[in-house]
């Protein structure tokens, strides 16, 4: 068609696929709402990384972003607790989020701090070459 796919859309898709893949590896299943959550998180986190800051600060903000997105998706899509249920874990909020998984999201942000710029560079190279159209 001659048009390149917007970088934001590709980043969103990569986040959706990545989040679902991680969840499937971790739990053996996922839910379509997790693609929405993962896509949103990667798109926003990539912008956060681009703006810069310390790795600790980025990981803390990323942890808050993922936890918040998980809470929002949980309150909308997980009312019957068929997607996930943290209610047996200490410090949980309505079974939707908990400190243990927030800590895991913090750890996930460590490699994401390096992967986000790589993804952006790759997309920029594809765009320069004129091969970014799908």
Query: Per residue in 56-112, pLDDT tens?
Result: 999 999 999 999 999 999 999 887 767 889 999 999 999 999 999 999 999 999 999
pLDDT of residue 2: 37
CB 47 within 8 A of CB 71: no
pLDDT of residue 82: 79
Region 48-53 average pLDDT: 95
pLDDT of residue 51: 95
């Amino acid at each position: 068609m001659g048009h390149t796919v917007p970088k934001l859309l590709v980043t969103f898709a990569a986040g959706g696929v990545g989040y679902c893949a991680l969840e499937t590896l971790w739990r053996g299943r996922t839910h379509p709402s997790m693609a929405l959550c993962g896509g949103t998180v990667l798109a926003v986190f990539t912008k956060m990384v681009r703006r810069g800051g310390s790795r600790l600060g980025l990981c803390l903000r990323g942890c808050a972003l993922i936890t918040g997105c998980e809470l929002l998706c949980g309150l909308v899509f997980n009312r019957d607790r068929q997607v996930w249920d943290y209610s047996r874990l200490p410090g949980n909020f309505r079974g939707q989020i908990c400190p243990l998984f927030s800590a895991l999201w913090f750890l996930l942000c460590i490699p994401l701090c390096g992967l986000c710029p790589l993804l952006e560079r790759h997309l920029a190279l594809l765009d320069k070459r004129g091969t970014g159209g799908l």
